[in-house]
Chains A and B, each alone.
Chain A
Amino acid sequence: MFAYIMRRLLMLIPVLIGMTLITFSIVHLIPGNPAQVILGETATAEAIEDLEETMGINEPYPIQYGIYVTDLLQGDLGTSLRSKSEISSEIWPYIAATFELTFFAIIFAVFIGVNAGIISAWKQNSWFDFLAMFFALVGVSMPVFWLALMEQWVFAQELGWLPAYGRENSRDPIAPITYFYVLDSLIHLDFSRVITSLRHLVLPSIALGTIPMAIIARMTRSSMLEVMNSDYIRTVRAKGSGQFMIIYKHALKNATIPVVTVIGLQTGVLLGGAILTETIFSWPGIGRYVYEAISYRDYPVIQSGILVIAVIFVFINLIVDILYKLIDPRINY
């Protein structure tokens, strides 16, 4: 197992190098002069030239790339052109915000998705099965922004049950420690704030988690159906085990592998693709961070932001692969 993990880690090196090369190239192929954008519509030609010089964007690309990678190796993600602060020091709250949201979205997606899938498989062709699969189909095809706006309209504006935006009650902010607000409030043993942060999580988690939930439900159902029809389940059944034992002890384990893949992939997708949800719910996550940077041509932030998302994605895939091996030791690469 250890050797396997080591091998997988080594394989990451060329992947990571490739990623720096790609993020660097993409960012530098975007047309437009960041100096002009920083100085605004009123800028004079000289001011622009001066700023270009201090920013070092007049150097040839290979030199710029060299500087970029050298800095990266020293843990220096660069300095944001917009805020003028070190990206490494300002990026964590964004990552934490996205992690927190993704975590709850995935919990929602897995909990509802897996259970709905199991019941659908178990009660194949029942009204529940039809209904669940109908909703799964709707869920996959529903645009996230539309769902988000509907949620806000119904639950925030009309019913007033849940907050429409943000991570906390700004009239009474949470003192951040880890920047995972639920965790931070727990550390402070402040349960009213725990409730507040959980309430802020409900609508965006559902918006973000609906598509993966639907995918997971369909995947679990088909995977369960396959397993339930296999010989060994018939044997277990013959031995007189209860239905619950059959499903959760014997069948689920084997049905899990494709489901874990889907969960892993979806987690990666959510981490990188939460921009819409983050924008609509004013969730200051990494997607928003990169989006704002793009509209500002904040090269260093775009580069580092994309790179961070990519690295997270790669590591999630690594974890998924390791999980396969734990679930089913026969798997080998």
Chain B
Amino acid sequence: MKLKYSFLFALMLAFILVLAACSGDGGADSASSEEEDGVEEEGDAEESDDDADSEADTEADGDQVLLFARGGDSESLDPSSTTDGESSRVTVQVLESLLQFEEDSFELQPGLAHDWDVSGDGLNYTFYLEEGVTFHDGTDFNADAVKTNFERWSDPEHEYGFADDNYVYSMYGTMFGGFKGDDGHVIDEINVVNDHEIEFVLSQPLGFFLQNMGMSYFGITSPAAFEEFGPEINENPVGTGPFEFVSWSKDDSIVLEKNEDYRIDGLPHLDQVVFEVVPDNAARLIALRSGEIDIMDGLNPDDAAGIESEEGLELFTRAENNIGYLGFNVEKEPLDNPDLRHAINYAIDKQAIADALYAGYANTAKNPLPPSYMGYNDDVEAYEYDLDKAEELLAEAGYEDGLEIELWTMPVARPYMPDPETTAEIVQNNLADIGIDVTIVREEWAPYLDKTMDGEHEMYMLGWSGTNGDPDYFLSSLLHGDNIGSSNREFYENPEVDDLLDEAKRSVDQDERAAFYQEAQALISEDSPMVTLVHSTPVLATSSNVLNYVPHPSTSEPLTEVELTN
């Protein structure tokens, strides 16, 4: 009788073991390779082979399937209808823009347009389009298609604008000064010269117009697809890119396959790319180590050091393209006092924050603009950590007996601020050293954004990431007087700075623009509307089988040249 029960348990155990054993020899290989570091690479490669053999009979030998794991799903595959990085990471594979960025920087290079002309007054842009390019649905790519796409974004009434379905092309509005009919909207006319030549006529010059043209948010969709899918275009992207869209299981995976007719011969190398959602950071790393995935985004900075020394894995960093900062509400007492703002600036130990919370994957910041950007002012003097100076300034400001300040802390982690809570505590300790008593205010993310926009805060934390590689996106968004009540949560308005930013925006001479931005940064540093904390470098890891992978600072890189070794 006793045997019977033992039997039942044995059965259950056996079942689990059988399933486990079904992983084939690969499992054993990877396990043993864990112990023998030297052969791990080989073991991993073999494992993915075995997986393919035992579980995927349909796959021919040598098929290149890349699994890219990330923390969250895409919101929409109609890139301009969202500002979400997880969305453009996928759409940049499917849709192409007129221009493209270099693989590791925001330098422009040809995209769907092989050449372009700019008129002397900066008002006319002519793009010469690639010929013989077809969309994935077989229709021709031409100037009409470009025009349709731009009109759809700019005109809320457009038949393919899908405004009734809550589509908002906010990125278009931000980058081109609003929408059709708005005062600041810069694109006046779009003229189709012929099938492969298109002209944009601007109402006023825009210094970063070409940079915008390289953004993945403005990838060109097949007009026939708008007709076919209507508002469901966000789940059925059809472009000219290196990969074609196959399927999307929400919160699970997005499958793309090679575009056999891609406009560049011999590319892409991969047959299939799968973007998978693996929300848990630790699970993602385990999946990478066990060979289930090839690339993982969003590595914890603390895990990075380990990866570097691990056989079979590669560590990558993205270029600095963000700023994490502590903003003041300069309209409100007591922070309307510049001396107090300076004092706080000197009292905060930025290096300690970078070391403690970013595992060294961050550099302290002295400007709101990352150093790689055009017009970065390296002559601005940083507010070095200096308690004596801070106390002196505090006394000058009239607060020798100390004061109380509220600091609003972000409830969510962001690449530019991986641990907001602890950051706030470090700041609290730093300021306590000079007699400032900081109360930390906690608020949910959505109301946090709302209320800081309305100026309810005294001091708050936030950050900003670049999208088009232009300084305007940082400096104007964060500190131009026109953006008070939206992205300028400092309520900072200096007419001189505004003028400089406007001039820079209207100029098309990039050297001249750089000079304006440098001057603006000097003034901003003097006024000190924010404590610029750090520029972080997000880390990610891949398996060593992945070749030619170059992470782009925008977080969206085409995988056109990526290959897998087996």
Contact = CB atoms under 8 A, between A and B. Distances in A.
Nearest to A199: B19
A4 B234 CA distance: 48
Contacts of A166: 252-253, 276, 278
A90 B250 CA distance: 8
Contacts of A42: 83, 170, 174, 477, 486-487
Contacts of B83: 39-40, 42
A292 B86 CA distance: 14
A162 interface: yes
A164 B287 contact: yes
Interface stretch (B54-62, B352-360, B398-406): B54-62
A158 B31 contact: yes
Interface in B74-98: 75-76, 83-84
A83 B280 contact: no
A169 B67 CA distance: 10
Interface stretch (B111-119, B341-349, B383-391, B442-450): B442-450
Contacts of B31: 158-160
B55 A84 contact: no
Contact of B168 (A51, A82, A160, A167): A51
Contacts of A180: none
Nearest to B6: A119
A160 B277 contact: no
Contact of B55 (A159, A167, A169): A169
Interface stretch (B20-28, B259-267, B312-320, B515-523): B20-28
A152 B73 CA distance: 22
Given A32-B444, A37-B449, A40-B170, A115 B8 contact: yes
A23 to B, nearest CB: 18
Interface string A284-300: 10001100100101000
A41 B75 contact: no
Given A34-B446, A43-B170, A163 B292 contact: yes
Interface stretch (A230-238, A253-261, A274-282, A306-314): A274-282
Interface string A42-76: 11110100110011000000000000000000000
B55 A193 contact: yes
B19 A162 contact: yes
Given A156-B287, A202-B19, A165 B58 contact: no
Nearest to A285: B251
Given A199-B22, A244-B4, A297-B446, A169 B34 contact: no
B48 to A, nearest CB: 8
A214 to B, nearest CB: 16
Interface in B236-257: 247, 249-253, 255
A199 B54 CA distance: 13
Contacts of A36: 446, 449-450, 453
A186 interface: no
Nearest to A190: B57
A172 B59 contact: yes
Given A84-B166, A199-B20, A164 B292 contact: yes
Nearest to A119: B5
B52 interface: yes
A162 B23 contact: yes
A332 interface: no
Contacts of B251: 94, 284, 288-289, 292
Interface residues of B, number: 85
B391 to A, nearest CB: 35
Chain A: number of interface residues, binned into ranges: 35 or more
B290 interface: yes
Interface string A127-171: 000000000000000000000010011011111111111110111
A149 B282 contact: yes
Contacts of A273: none
A280 B449 contact: no
Contacts of B450: 32-33, 36
Contacts of B170: 39-40, 42-43, 47
A41 B487 contact: yes
A45 B73 contact: no
A84 B234 contact: yes
A149 to B, nearest CB: 6
Contact of B252 (A54, A192, A284, A295): A284
Interface string B93-134: 000000000000000000000000000000000000000000
A327 B277 CA distance: 44
Nearest to A296: B75
B447 A32 contact: yes
A85 interface: yes
Interface string B476-487: 010000000111
Interface in B511-563: none
Contacts of B30: 160
B486 A43 contact: yes
A173 interface: yes
Contacts of A43: 170, 486
A54 to B, nearest CB: 6
A99 to B, nearest CB: 16
A216 B165 CA distance: 48
Interface in B15-48: 16, 19-23, 26-31, 34, 47
A71 B36 CA distance: 61
B28 to A, nearest CB: 7
Interface in A307-329: none
B289 interface: yes
A243 interface: yes
B52 to A, nearest CB: 6
A14 interface: no
B274 interface: yes
A243 B163 contact: no
Contacts of A156: 286-287, 290, 292
A198 B278 contact: no
A171 B232 CA distance: 26
A83 B278 contact: no
A32 B19 contact: no
Nearest to A161: B20
Contacts of A31: 444, 446-447
Contacts of B1: 242-244
8 contacts: A32-B450, A115-B8, A152-B286, A160-B28, A165-B287, A165-B292, A171-B51, A282-B278
Given A172-B52, A192-B54, A202-B19, 17 more contacts: A30-B444, A32-B446, A94-B251, A115-B5, A159-B31, A160-B27, A160-B28, A165-B284, A169-B55, A172-B55, A173-B253, A173-B255, A192-B55, A282-B280, A288-B251, A289-B251, A292-B251
Question: What 8 A-B pairs have minimum CB-CB distances, sorted nearest first?
Answer: A32-B446, A172-B56, A161-B20, A160-B27, A284-B251, A160-B30, A284-B252, A40-B83
Interface of A: 30-34, 36-45, 47, 50-51, 54-55, 79, 81-85, 90, 93-94, 111-112, 115, 118-119, 149, 152-153, 155-167, 169-173, 176, 192-193, 195-196, 198-199, 202, 242-244, 279-282, 284, 288-289, 292, 295, 297
